Amino acid sequence: MNPFFSKYDTPHGTVPFHLIKLEDYEPAIVEGMARQKAEIDAIVNNPEIPTFANTIEPYELSGEMLNRVSTVFGNQLSANTNPKLQDLANKLMPMLSEHENDISLNPQLFARIKAVYDNRANEQLNREQLKLLEDIYIGFTRNGANLSEEQKATFREITMQLSLLSLQFSNNLLNETNVYQLHLTDPNQLQGLPESAIEAAKEAAQQKGLEGWIFTLKAPSFSPFMMYADHRELRQELYMAYHTRCTHNNEYNNIEVVKQLVNLRLKVAQLLGYNTYADYVLERRMAQDKQHVYQLENDLLAAYKQTALQELEEMQSLARELEGDDFELMPWDLGYYAHKLKERKFDLDNEKLRPYFELEHVKQGVFGLATRLYGITFKPNKDIPVYHPDVEAFEVFDKDGSFLAVLYTDFHPRDGKQGGAWMTSYKEQWIDRKTGENSRPHVSLVMNFTKPTKQKPALLTHGEVNTFLHEFGHSLHAMFANTTYQSLSGTNVYWDFVELPSQFMENYAVEKEFLHTFAKHYKTGELLPDELVQRIFDAQNFNVGYACLRQLSFGFLDMAWYTRKEVFEGDVMDYEREAWQPTQIMPQVDGTCMSVQFSHIFSGGYAAGYYSYKWAEVLDADAFALFKEQGIFNQTTAASFRENILSKGGTEHPMTLYKRFRGQEPTIDALLIRNGIKR
């Protein structure tokens, strides 16, 4: 029997991964679409006058089965894919796109929704109901409900193409990443590399039946090589392999895919009456318009560029001191000499910190932080099915002992997993209007951390600890959700607000009181020494200017692609160079291209929204300043953060929620002070 066709007989109704087979997806998605179509037809054919109760709530609840299946399917495409699953996605995505369009372009359905919206003043709706109604109505208008029949046909065609192209973009990047390997057999080529990187590379070679060492383009392999390898030509080779992905003359080339995605999104925006795709996107963001985005980015550029230039000069000076006066720093040298400079200035080396960040201890520390702030606890449950042996499932309990959520953790890279780190949900929170039951969420953390070896457990870098905190912040946003409607729950908020809970948690990565709760040597049990904690704190703003310019370069590139008013027919690489030129302080290398790898804005949800990371950084610095004033573990402040930010989802405008927590609108000052730019 297809496991999607009946209620899950698992703890907390979790996904029965152990029962799901590849051939289960298509019939379940087809059935899910049929069921939602029947539910929509029932709303449309209701002879009663349209009301919130007979139109909006049934629409919100429609598609339950389809949502369950497509959520599992989509998440597996990112975290545990294979060629057969990718082929199936190419078949199913157009069907799903057409189904979504059948709903959003249904004139009878929209007429009922509009009737409720126009009569909303007489409906006596509470704040959350009104927000749901507004979101649904605006969502329909933004998805073509007001278009003519001819325009709707065009809209359908474009959105179907976009769904396939987005999938093609991400598959190309994953496949191109997996294809490459740097196979070394000469031990002299390993000079400078830490033991942990050499061990991992040796195991990678053994798994492929080869002698020597294999380095890949996945972060736990690529990053240490670029930071530690003395062999400059090999650093250059690996750098070029990484930064030319999807530019080669093969089936994984994304140049034309980028052009098509940009042009189709522009076409959609203009079809809907907007000048640019950015105008369309930003209408539903805290930033509101591109002028505010550029104001933020230009203000940050002005504030940080001089610092970045000074940082670069320090690295260049060190490199010439070590290599000779005619040495010119290139992009493949940055990680290497930045590490040496950091070590000289702060006597701080990631590899010396690794033994104190054993993954199991880090997990206890991060979970323990949530316990200390919010009183929640985590209990492993091996009876909850998982989709891969690497995955662990936890039950999460609230401070009163009641069940709060299920949390999956998936920490290590593999061929079937996209790069990077993210939080996702297999089930979101909502309240059953009939029974009053608060249906709790099932949340997943997916990362690509350093793997254990035969000799050592998984020992993380401090940067990976930071990433864990970031994604865990997203999971708290999802797990603390306490809203009536699923579409307003958890992380269903404006995308320039969604990074606040995640980036807020990163503040703890340099706090001694937090680090001393878990950071102990995996062999000796020795607590991370105070002097190392102090060095971590002192080094927190190392190369902060360069890091800011790097993020701004991505933001400028994103806005350049999506503030276009005309179809793009030029050279992608040339356009990229010009777009982010104000942020570039290093030579740009011929043949490299970020756009063809920029998943966030081409296959993710950040098109015209990459600025969100810096926007939310302003918020998180301002928010954490309150914790610094009142105590970083202050439970009263934490309770307010949970109540006003983490539990409310998208039930109110983000600035309203933020001011309710903070008592004021944020300014850029807290970020500048935290980064040492302003005293």
379 phi/psi in degrees, rounded to 5: -130, 120
> What is the end-to-end Cα distance of the chain in Å, rounded?
65
Measuring CA to CA, which residue among 61, 71, 58 is closest to residue 28?
71
Tokens, residue 587: 């030579």
Choose among 562, 477, 84: nearest CA to 285.
562
The DSSP 8-state label assigned to residue 70 in this structure reads H
Q: Which of 439, 440, 459 is CA-nearest to residue 449?
A: 459
Question: For residue 181, which amino acid is it?
Answer: Q
**Which residues have a Cβ under 8 Å from the Cβ of 328 and sit 6 or more positions away?**
none
Q: Which residue is it, tokens 């939602």?
A: 36
Under a CB-based contact definition with an 8 Å cutoff, are residues 109 and 59 in contact? Answer: yes
Q: Which residue from 656, 668, 609, 626 is spatially nearest to 279, judged by alpha carbons? A: 609
Contact 456, 506 (CB under 8 A): no
Is there a catalytic annotation at residue 471?
Answer: yes
Which H or E run contains 155?
A: helix 149-179
Greatest Cα pair distance, the chain, in angstroms, is 84
Task: Give the angle 597-598-602 at the CA atoms, nearest 5°.
Answer: 110
Q: Distance between CA 73 and CA 23 in Å, rounded? A: 12
In the 8-state DSSP scheme, what is residue 118? Answer: H
> Whole-angstrom Cα distance, residue 24 to residue 19?
9
Q: Which of 471, 506, 511, 617 is catalytic?
A: 471
Q: Other CB atoms closer than 10 Å to residue 570's CB: what's the count?
A: 9
Residue 28: CB partners within 8 Å, gap ≥ 6?
2, 4, 5, 65, 69
Structure tokens at 461: 């870098």
Q: Are 213 and 184 in contact (CB under 8 A)?
A: yes
C-alpha dihedral over 201, 207, 212, 218, to 10 degrees?
Answer: -30
Catalytic residues: 471
